[in-house]
Structure 1
C-alpha cells in the first residue's frame, strides 16, 4: 500500500510579526542619521529572528508528532519483520527444506546473517530467547559479546584520551562504557578550564587594580548603564498607564492585566522591542515620537536591541541543536534551517521503509522453493563482502 503523501511542515507558517512595520523610523525631508538606520536594521533583524524562532518551534512540534505517528510504528513493524526473518533463518539451518543443500559456505553465511539480525534486533534491553539463539550459533551470549567489545572499545578510548589530554584526565575513572568515559573526560577538562580561567581572571583583576579604566572602558560602562535606565523608563511609563488596580471596569481591568503580564515579562527579558511595540499599541508613542528621539537615546536603544538580537540568535542555535538531537543527526548532517530537519526526517523515513521492503523481499524469497536457493547464494555473496 502506497503511503499517503505528507503535508509540508510549512503548510501554515506563522504570520510575519508586525514589529518591523510598527517600529520603523521613516525618512522625512532629511536623511536618516546612523543611529536611526541602525535602529531600523536591528528591529527588522529582530522581527526576522522572532519569525524564524517560531518556525523552529513549529518544526519541533511537527517532527515530534510525525515521529510518534510514523517513525515509531514503522520501527516496530521493522522489528517484527526482523524477528520473523530470524525465526525463518533458524528454521532453515535446523531443518533444511528438501532440495536445499547447505554447503559449508552457505551455512556459515546464513549463520553470520542470522547473528547480524539478532544483533540489530536486541537493543540495550535483554531478550533471553534471542540471547540463547545467539549463543547456540556463536558459542557466546550476545550480552557477553557486547561486553567484550565494550571493554576493547573502552581500553582504546582510555589510551586515546590519555595521549590527547594526559594521564591525569583518565586517572581514577569508574566508567564502564565509552560514553561514560567521555563524560568523565569532559568533566575533568571543564574543571581544568575553569581553574585556568579563574587564574587568568585573578591575574586580570590584579592588573586592573593597578591601573585606571581606559576611556573606552568607561564609555562602554556608561553606555550599558544608560541603556538599562532607558529600558526602565519605558517600563515605568507603561506600568503607570496600564496598572489594572487603578481600573474600575472589569473588562478593562482584565485587558490591562493581560498587558501587564506582557510588560513584566518583556522587562524581565530585556525585551525592548516588545516594550516599544506595547507603547505604540497604547499610543504612548508613535512614528513621529521615534523619529524625534535624540541620537544619544537611540544609541542606548540600539545597544539593548543588539543584546536582544544576540540572545535570540543563541535561542535559534539551541533550537537547531535540539532538532539535531531529536532526529539523531550525524556530525555531517547539520540542521541550519527548519526545512533541513524536514528533509532529514523524510530521508530517515524513506530509509526505514526501504529496510522494511528489503526484509519482506528476503522473507518471501526464502519461503519460495523456486527462489530460496538463489536467495541463500545472494546472502552468501553479501556476507563475503562484509
Structure 2
C-alpha cells in the first residue's frame, strides 16, 4: 500500500547520500527541507499537547471533581449546622455578626460553582442572611446626614439680637475676610489645576486614539499585502491538490485493491488540503510519483518559493495551536502564565490540587464532628476571625 514518507526532502538524480544530496540542493530547496523538518516537529508537538490536554481533563473529572463535590457537600453540611446554631444558642452581638459573615462566605463558595436551583436550601439560607445583613446596615448612622445638622446650631455669640447692634472686633472681621479670600483663591487654583489635568488627559487620549488608528490602518495594509502575496501560494496549493485528485480518484481505477488504496490516499489528500497542509500533499505526491515510476525531479525555485509561503503560514498555524493548548492547560491547572506550562508543571499542579483538596476535606470533616455545642461554636467563631 502506498504511504507518504515521514519527511519531504527534495530528491536529486542518482544514489547520493543525504549529506551529499543536501550539498547539491539550491538554497531554496534547502530552505524548503528545513521548514519541512520544522513542521514535522511542530506536528508531533501538537499531538503531544493534545494528548496532555486529554490526560488532564481525564484526571480532573476522575479525581479532582469528586474531591470538589465532597468539599461542596461538607460545606453545605457546615452551613446548615451553623444556621441551626444561630437559632438555638445564645450568642453575643459580635458572635452573631461573625456567624452571619461566616455563613454568607460559605454560601458564596458553594453557590459559586452551582446554580441556585441545584442547591435550593443553601440558596435560601444565603438570601435569608443577606436580607438580615442589609436590614442591620439600614439602622447604621448615615454620614451624609451629619452636615445638615450643623444648621441647627445657635447663632454666633458675637451678635446680640435684643439691641440690634452687632458687637464684633474689627480685627476679627478683617481676619475672617482674609481667610475667606485665601480660601476662594485656593478653590479657584484647585479648579484651574483640575481643568488643566482634564485637558491634559483629553490630549493624551486623543494621541492614543490616533496611534491606535494608525496601528489598525498599518495592520490592514499588512493583511492586504499578505493576502495578495499568499494568493499565488494558495493557487499553487489548490493546483497540487487537483493534480493529486486526478491521479488518486478511485472511480477511475478498475482494480479493487488499488481502488481501496486510492480511496484511502484521496481521503488523506482531502484532509491535508482542508487543513492547508502543503507538506502532507507534497509527501503524498512523492509517494504517488514513485509508485508510478515517475522521477520526482527538482522543483523550480519559483515553485518552491510559493510552497515556502504555504509552509510558513502552516507553521504559524501550528504554533498557534500549540499556544492554544498551553493556554487551555494553564486555565485547567490554574497556572499563572502560559510560559510556565510544561508537562512536568501540569502534572505537579494536579497533584498539589488533589493534595490540598484532600487535606481541606479532612479538616472540614473533623470540624463537622467538633461543632456539637455552643462552646465549640463560639471557639470556632473566634478562630475564624
Bucket of the pairwise TM-score, normalised by the shorter protein: 0.5 to 0.7
Alignment of 1:250 with 2:256, yes or no, is yes
Shift of 1:86: 1.6
| C-alpha distance in structure 1 between counterparts of 2:340 and 2:242, whole Å | 41
Q: Which has the higher contact order (CA 8 A, sep 6+)?
A: 2
| C-alpha distance in structure 1 between counterparts of 2:58 and 2:100, whole Å | 39
State the partner residue of 1:360: 365
State the partner residue of 2:110: 121
| C-alpha distance in structure 1 between counterparts of 2:120 and 2:262, whole Å | 64
Shift in alpha-carbon separation, 1:289–1:39, aligned structure 2, 3 A: farther
User: CA deviation digits over 1:46-104, x for unaligned, max 9?
Assistant: 111111211222223233333332233222211110121122223333334xxxx8555
State the partner residue of 2:284: 278
Superposed, 1:12-161 pairs within 5 Å as: 21=7, 23=9, 26-28=18-20, 30=23, 32-96=25-89, 102-122=91-111, 123-126=114-117, 127-134=119-126, 137=129, 139-140=131-132
| C-alpha distance in structure 1 between counterparts of 2:80 and 2:5, whole Å | 62
1:260 alignment partner, one of 259, 266, 271: 266
Judge conservation of contact 1:49–1:313 (CA < 8 Å) in 2: yes
| C-alpha distance in structure 2 between counterparts of 1:137 and 1:290, whole Å | 79
State the partner residue of 2:144: none
User: CA deviation digits over 1:33-58, x for unaligned, max 9?
Assistant: 43233222211211111112112222
Shift in alpha-carbon separation, 1:33–1:285, aligned structure 2, 3 A: farther
Judge conservation of contact 2:107–2:122 (CA < 8 Å) in 1: yes
How many residue pairs get matched? 300
User: CA deviation digits over 1:325-364, x for unaligned, max 9?
Assistant: 5x27475466644554444444333333232122112212
Unaligned stretches of 5+ residues in structure 1: 1-17, 146-162, 168-191, 209-216
| C-alpha distance in structure 1 between counterparts of 2:353 and 2:107, whole Å | 22
Judge conservation of contact 1:53–1:315 (CA < 8 Å) in 2: yes
User: CA deviation digits over 1:249-285, x for unaligned, max 9?
Assistant: 2332122112112212323333111011112333448
Shift of 1:300: 2.8
Q: TM-score, normalised by structure 1?
A: 0.62
Shift in alpha-carbon separation, 1:355–1:50, aligned structure 2, 3 A: same
Shift in alpha-carbon separation, 1:131–1:283, aligned structure 2, 3 A: closer
Judge conservation of contact 2:286–2:296 (CA < 8 Å) in 1: no
Aligned-residue Cα RMSD (Å) equals 4.4
Judge conservation of contact 1:362–1:375 (CA < 8 Å) in 2: no
Unaligned stretches of 5+ residues in structure 2: 12-17, 138-197, 203-208
Shift of 1:114: 2.5
Q: TM-score, normalised by structure 2?
A: 0.62
2:319 alignment partner, one of 293, 313, 319: 313
Name the SS of the counterpart of 1:317 in structure 2: helix
| C-alpha distance in structure 2 between counterparts of 1:378 and 1:49, whole Å | 55
Name the SS of the counterpart of 2:116 in structure 1: coil
Judge conservation of contact 1:106–1:377 (CA < 8 Å) in 2: no
User: CA deviation digits over 1:92-144, x for unaligned, max 9?
Assistant: 33334xxxx855554543333223222222344255533443455554389xx
Name the SS of the counterpart of 1:28 in structure 2: helix
| C-alpha distance in structure 2 between counterparts of 1:248 and 1:19, whole Å | 26
Structure with higher Rg: it is 2
Name the SS of the counterpart of 1:140 in structure 2: helix
| C-alpha distance in structure 1 between counterparts of 2:48 and 2:125, whole Å | 48
| C-alpha distance in structure 2 between counterparts of 1:51 and 1:272, whole Å | 16
State the partner residue of 1:14: none
Shift in alpha-carbon separation, 1:106–1:229, aligned structure 2, 3 A: closer
